[in-house]
């Protein structure tokens, strides 16, 4: 069973607000990821991290930023939200060197962001 948690599950905010989406996992996984899922269902990798103090941009350009100060925590921040940021954001983790040797991704439940 996956132990990866995202908060908030739902967030409705006004344009220009700063928001942080939280993601935490208790599996000790080194690799963590943020995906943006558009209404057409497709997943786009926007950020990933291979460990503490490691962050990389993904395949889809995003105005959001991430940090990885602790292994278990990988928050995503938008400094000034806009309606174009409205989407579902999914956090995931993996540990190819351990029980997840097959490269399985463990996903959180997602954070659905609506910017008015």
Q: In terms of CB distance, is 20 or 88 closer to other proteins?
A: 88
Q: Does 110 bind other proteins (CB under 8 A)?
A: yes
The mark string for 28-67 relative to other proteins (x by CB under 8 A, - otherwise) is: ---x--------xxxx------------------------
Burial tier of 91 (Cβ tally within 10 Å: 0-12, 13-18, 19+): buried
What is the Cα–Cα distance from 59 to 32, expressed in whole angstroms?
15
Structure tokens at 15: 């344009």
Site size with other proteins, rule: CB under 8 A? 20
């Amino acid at each position: 069973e996956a132990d990866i948690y995202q908060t908030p599950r739902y967030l409705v905010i006004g344009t220009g607000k700063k928001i942080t989406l939280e993601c935490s996992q208790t599996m000790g996984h080194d690799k963590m990821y943020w995906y943006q899922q558009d209404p057409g269902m497709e997943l786009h990798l926007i950020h990933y991290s291979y460990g503490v103090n490691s962050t990389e941009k993904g395949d889809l350009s995003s105005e959001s930023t991430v940090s990885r100060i602790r292994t278990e925590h990988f928050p995503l921040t938008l400094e000034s939200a806009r309606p174009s940021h409205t989407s579902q954001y999914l956090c995931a983790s993996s540990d190819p060197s351990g029980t997840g040797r097959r490269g399985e991704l463990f996903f959180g439940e997602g954070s659905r962001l609506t910017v008015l």
